[in-house]
């Protein structure tokens, strides 16, 4: 398969990444690749560090496998670079390629499509806490991982971006939806009522856009385990006794913990005050994702060229 040449700039980035990985004792260099590079050459440039290639492009994935480089396949969706990076780190941990708590150096096209122009040192302790492959596998037995990932991704987006500049908090309860509906009551008319199933699919970008809009009205979304939005604006009524949660978590998080204890559903909260996403199962926090930088919207960067002199 034809490979994309490694430009001088990319080579310089790789050499810097190698040094940075050594200095910071990073466990791996994660390359978010949109193009089928010669990954053996990339590997040579970064020296002893472990190389992970993450991509949603089938040809890039094939080349990485061909070059015998550890590869993290991403879901092919129009995501921000930061979302893709988060997804790559999550998947890498889930696949036991990375351990939570380590540092990695990430290389990605931060500003220009198709150019590896950005390096970050990502501390997985800050980024993903208490997530282990075993946790994810255990979760998978209850709700399909695919549905969970979609919901967690959207929750992270809401936590990071809010809506129209304002922070937004919300809750999703995924799976066991009939029982969740029985243990909750509506606070508004269900905006998804009357829509055919295929118009309530979580994987549909329009549905996710509506969810972001309705997230502002607060309370909880109820999602079936096969990925359909059943209801929005539900107040969760499950009793919270017998639960213990970290100090500082308020009623939203207690309600999420309680519903996850009383049903087989997984509750995912977005904190309005911090943007942190938490995933509850059986009354306890199984996963916490911090917003890497709440104020930063990676694709909002616009370069304004200097005025020309002529
Ligand atoms: N039982 C419940 N079911 C659904 N949503 C709830 C429930 N209780 C509280 N909430 C939501 O949580 C919001 C209040 O959150 P509060 O600040 O008390 O909690 P918190 O856990 O500290 O959350 P945050 O970190 O977002 O501030 C309410 O506006 C409400 O929408």
pLDDT of residue 304: 44
Please tell me the least confidently modeled range out of 10-19, 27-36, 82-91, 295-304. Answer: 295-304
pTM: predicted TM-score of the whole model, two decimal places:
0.61
- In tens, the pLDDT along 240-254 reads 888 888 778 899 999
Write down the ipTM of this complex.
0.97
Check if the beta carbon of residue 26 is closer than 8 Å to that of residue 107: no
Q: How far is CA 201 from the centre of its chain?
A: 19
Tell me the CA–centroid distance for residue 155 and ligand 1, in Å. 15
- In tens, the pLDDT along 226-282 reads 899 999 999 999 998 888 887 788 999 999 999 999 999 999 999 999 888 888 888
Contact 77 CB / ligand 1 (< 6 Å): no
Which CA distances in Å does 82 have to 32, 95, 131, 186, 285? 10, 20, 19, 34, 24
Please tell me the least confidently modeled range out of 92-96, 219-223, 290-294. Answer: 290-294
Contact 278 CB / ligand 1 (< 6 Å): no
pLDDT of residue 137: 55
Domain boundaries, the chain: 8-128, 133-289
To 5 degrees, how large is the angle CA 294–CA 299–CA 300?
75
Please tell me the least confidently modeled range out of 59-63, 75-79, 294-298. Answer: 294-298
- CATH class given for the domain over 133-289: alpha beta
Task: Using the structure block, give the residue that is written with the tokens 């596998």.
Answer: 137
Task: Using the structure block, give the residue that is written with the tokens 């190389």.
Answer: 51
Tell me the CA–centroid distance for residue 218 and ligand 1, in Å. 8
CA atoms within 13 A on the CB side of 261: 18
Phi, psi of 91 (to 5 degrees): -65, -40
Check if the beta carbon of residue 279 is closer than 8 Å to that of residue 267: yes
The superfamily in CATH containing domain 8-128 is Pyruvate kinase, C-terminal domain (3.40.1380.20)
pLDDT of residue 266: 93
pLDDT of residue 263: 95
């Amino acid at each position: 398969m034809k490979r994309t040449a490694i430009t001088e700039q990319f080579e310089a980035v790789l050499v810097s990444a190698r040094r940075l990985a050594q200095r910071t004792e990073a466990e791996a260099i994660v390359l978010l690749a949109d193009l089928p590079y010669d990954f053996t050459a990339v590997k040579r440039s970064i020296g002893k560090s472990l190389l992970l290639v993450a991509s949603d492009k089938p040809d890039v994935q094939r080349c990485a496998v061909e070059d015998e480089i550890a590869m993290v396949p991403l879901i092919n969706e129009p995501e921000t670079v930061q979302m893709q990076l988060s997804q790559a780190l999550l998947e890498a941990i889930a696949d036991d390629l990375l351990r939570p708590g380590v540092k990695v150096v990430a290389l990605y096209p931060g500003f220009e499509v198709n150019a590896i122009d950005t390096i970050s040192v990502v501390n997985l302790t800050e980024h993903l806490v208490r997530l282990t492959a075993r946790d994810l596998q255990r979760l998978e037995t209850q709700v399909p991982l695919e549905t969970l990932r979609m919901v967690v991704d959207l929750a992270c987006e809401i936590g990071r971006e809010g809506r129209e500049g304002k922070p937004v908090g919300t809750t999703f309860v995924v799976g066991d939806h009939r029982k969740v509906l029985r243990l909750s009551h509506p606070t508004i008319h269900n905006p998804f009522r009357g829509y055919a199933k295929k118009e309530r699919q979580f994987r549909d970008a329009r549905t996710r856009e509506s969810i972001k809009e309705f997230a502002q009205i607060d309370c909880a979304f109820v999602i079936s385990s096969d990925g359909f939005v059943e209801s929005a604006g539900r107040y969760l009524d499950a009793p919270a006794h017998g639960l213990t949660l970290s100090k500082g978590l308020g009623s939203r998080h207690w309600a999420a913990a309680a519903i996850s204890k009383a049903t087989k559903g997984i509750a995912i909260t977005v904190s309005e005050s911090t943007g942190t996403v938490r995933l509850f199962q059986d009354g306890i926090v199984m996963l916490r994702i911090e917003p890497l930088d709440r104020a930063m919207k990676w694709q909002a960067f616009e370069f304004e060229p200097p005025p020309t002199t002529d």
